[in-house]
Chains A and B, each alone.
Chain A
Amino acid sequence: MKNNDRVNDKRKIMSNQTFEKQVNSASSNIEVPSFKERAHDALQDKKLQQALSVIPSGFVSKRAKAKAALPAFSDLSDQAVRIKNHTLANIEKYLEQFEAEVQNSGGQLHFAPEPQDALDIINEICSKKDAKFIAKGKTMVGEEIGLTHFLEEQGYETVETDLGEYLIQLRGEMPSHIIAPAVHLTRDNIRKDFLNTHKHLSKDRNLETPADFVKEARLILREKFINADVGITGANFLIAETGSSVIVTNEGNGDLCQSLPKTHIVIASLEKLVPTLKDTSVLLRLLARSATGQSISTYTTFATGPKREEDTSGPEEFHIVLLDNGRSKMLGSEFAEMLRCIRCGACLNHCPVYQNLGGHAYGTVYPGPMGAVLSPHYFGEKAKDLPFASSFCGRCNEVCPMQIPLTKLMRKLREQPLNKRPPFAKATMFLWSQIAKRPKLYNFAMKAGLPFLSLASKQNWLMSIVPGVKDWQKHRALPEMTSTSFQTAWLKKEMKRKKRAQKKAKEQNNEQ
């Protein structure tokens, strides 16, 4: 039962907005579980573990193949870093150009310093258009500000049209992966949700193969596209020289969202800006290969302004809502490099912590190494323990096409005052540092302690009498240890060697 409550709590922290509302309203005593607690739950969840087991064979191996098939990959990656660094260094200029170009092509650019601004702007557009139905493409920035939930609250019938997003919308969950939001679900989960939601369909219908599910979702969602008054999409890139927004999808849902309804709203954050179309081509080559291991996603679409006068179809209005929400602060800080992120998800897929826990354990919409750096910036206090959700193995640094030093940034976050270590840990570290600075004392301590550790590595219960290691020991066993330290053993050997050398020298002397 307690477990269930925790799962519900997890759902409640769907996003910044909903979370804050929860906390503010009735000052309820919902306690947000810590990363540690959520991680514990995730490891116990057999269904989740089953769902996660496909990640290494899927994303990881496919990415390796796709990268190997493109000899220029690392050159392109170097160039991509230059593109983003250059853009960020000249962000004011490119923002100005982007704004002018959006207006030139007949679109409108709205600035949203804070999440609430973005929500208000979108609400205003929708209410002006007298919208009832809204079809939403997948947008992580939308997730970040709790857009869908907000629109539903305002009374718009809002449907997520990316299949993964739709699946989690049915469950009231947040995405567990930035490019595969429903990666934590198995067919059993989905079957239950479909039977509960699509009640007008026959109860005995076949829901076995993935194709069965996809077919049903296609049928249901098609109607939503066709009836939508407003389509909302995210953006993978915003191009300054043309005022375009670019989306990348495999399903084509984003394209229907932005071609059928009369109004198209793009919600995107400021670091999506790139100077030119040419730059976009460079980044596109890295994105899909790093994300799903495809050489390119099925659909990449550039939207510029509303429909032209001579066009027979297309949206009549085109809005771009540009969100800051903490990004400008990052820009001026030592975390600026994080703004290069193109949200491919490679760091999630390759992270041993993510692979074992899935995304929900992180408690925010951005999980994995990238989330461990971003979430504390966007969500503050409640994501403060995420920089500790890493073993610092460094695979994330290696696979990042934008060469973001993720572990370095996590380490910096760990040092921040927000992340004060508990007094006991602090005292222990202090004591250790004092001993380590004094070689004689250190050697003495090792000599004294090792026989005990050696015994404890064979008799695990012995560790339980040492204060402070209980938690550590829960999931780990001591490696088997010898009772002497390397230094002692080496010294012994060295003495023997010297003795032998002396003996030899003596013998030689005698012979002479």
Chain B
Amino acid sequence: MNNKPQASSSSSDRRKQFLKNIKLAVSQVNLTQEQERKLKEDTETYQNFTYQPLEKNVEEKLLQFKEILTTQSAEIYECSETKIIEKLEEILKEKSYGTDVLIGKNAKLNQLKTHSKNQVNFIEVESFEKNNENYNLSCALTTAFAAASETGTLFLSSGSANPTWLNYLATCHIVLLDKNTLCQTYEQAFALSEGRSRGEASTSQQAFPPRSINMISGPSRTADIEQTLTLGAHGPIELIIIIYTSESTV
């Protein structure tokens, strides 16, 4: 069944061989009339499909989002945009995480901070360095560009304001979410990024898609030890979400 040809050596040879095999396979596809008809029909209906669950209003979405994320072991707080730093301090204090919080090059956060006299200490990080001690820090804060209530999922995109590794290395990951960007479905959330009208505190309007889009739906977990759910496998043990209502409501 599997007679293996000799491995070819150069990359263009391999490409040629690969595409030749595909071409050959396609020419060998032998559909019955019935299958042919079905495939044609499928191709037509395939384009028309949109996932449309019963539409929810803002409060319903928020309720669903909070409910699902809570069952997925995340914690959710709400506040107004101006109170973000205060809220943050409150959370850090309650959990005795100290005052240090790792952030990316996030102009907005720094701006918010100057307006308050609180004791949160933002440590701005840039690239990841092997011998940097910072990765041992307990808290990191990043911002989500959107969320989807259907499964309690945050959408974050990479960029200098949100280095991807910040989402994964700290013990406690704190995410800021603008209530206006809370969508119902994945498709709607992606559309927000594709549009990129909001440009969440980032300096440049990046082309879509960015290097990474991270959908996050709870703290890191594993069930690899006897099928028992355990939190904090490699990523954060805690996921905390601060949903804020911005002053400039759309």
Contacts and interface: CB of A to CB of B under 8 A. Distances in A.
A110 B14 contact: yes
Given A255-B214, A298-B219, A331 B29 contact: yes
A263 interface: no
Contacts of A222: 234
Contacts of B224: 162-164, 167, 180-182
B1 A256 contact: no
A255 B167 contact: yes
Interface residues of A, number: 108
B92 to A, nearest CB: 22
B151 A313 contact: no
Interface string A320-336: 00101010111111001
A116 B209 CA distance: 32
B221 A298 contact: yes
Contacts of A272: none
Contacts of A462: none
A243 to B, nearest CB: 9
Interface in B191-241: 203-204, 206, 209-228, 230, 232-236
Interface in A221-243: 221-222, 225-227, 242
Interface stretch (A197-205, A289-297, A463-471, A473-481): A289-297
A408 interface: no
Contacts of B1: 326, 376-377, 380-381, 384, 416, 418
A252 B222 CA distance: 9
Interface stretch (A146-154, A207-215, A438-446, A502-510): A207-215
A382 to B, nearest CB: 10
A104 B155 CA distance: 24
B19 A95 contact: yes
Given A82-B46, A314-B211, A292 B223 contact: yes
Interface string A261-298: 00000000010000001100110110000001001111
A196 interface: no
B34 interface: no
A336 B39 CA distance: 13
Given A86-B46, A164-B224, A253-B233, A312 B127 contact: yes
B43 A89 contact: yes
A218 B233 contact: yes
A51 B46 CA distance: 42
B222 A250 contact: yes
B103 to A, nearest CB: 12
Contacts of B24: 328, 332
A379 B234 contact: no
A384 B2 CA distance: 11
A310 B160 contact: yes
Contact of B211 (A215, A225, A303, A384): A303
Interface string B167-186: 11100000000000000011
Contact of A302 (B39, B128, B159, B213): B213
Instruction: Determine chain B's interface SS by DSSP, over half rule.
Output: loop
A301 interface: yes
A111 interface: yes
B151 A295 contact: yes
B142 interface: no
Interface string B135-175: 10000000000000011110000111001110111000000
A306 B211 contact: yes
Among A110, A185, A311, chain B packs the most CB atoms within 10 A around the CB of: A311
A162 B26 CA distance: 36
A151 B169 CA distance: 26
A82 B49 contact: yes
B118 interface: no
Interface residues of B, number: 86
Contacts of B46: 79, 82-83, 86
Given A255-B164, A336-B29, A322 B18 contact: yes
A101 B24 CA distance: 24
A139 interface: no
B87 interface: no
A72 B223 CA distance: 27
Nearest to B3: A380
B230 A324 contact: no
B250 interface: no
B211 A307 contact: yes
A250 B5 CA distance: 38
B96 interface: no
Interface string B104-128: 1100000000000000000001111
Given A312-B160, A328-B25, A259 B233 contact: no
A186 interface: yes
A217 B211 CA distance: 29
Contacts of B186: 281, 284-285
Contacts of B25: 328-332
A92 B204 contact: no
Given A250-B221, A304-B211, A328 B72 contact: no
A45 interface: no
Interface string B1-40: 1101101110100110111011111111100000000010
Contacts of B187: 278, 281
Contacts of A221: 234
A37 interface: no
14 contacts: A72-B53, A82-B43, A111-B19, A113-B5, A113-B7, A210-B228, A226-B130, A252-B168, A252-B236, A296-B215, A299-B220, A300-B215, A313-B163, A416-B1
7 shortest interchain CB distances as A-B pairs: A252-B235, A332-B28, A380-B2, A332-B25, A251-B233, A111-B18, A210-B225
Interface of B: 1-2, 4-5, 7-9, 11, 14-15, 17-19, 21-29, 39, 42-43, 45-46, 49, 51, 53, 68, 72, 104-105, 125-128, 130, 135, 150-153, 158-160, 163-165, 167-169, 185-187, 190, 203-204, 206, 209-228, 230, 232-236
Given A180-B227, A277-B209, 8 more contacts: A72-B53, A92-B19, A252-B233, A296-B151, A296-B217, A308-B210, A311-B158, A326-B2
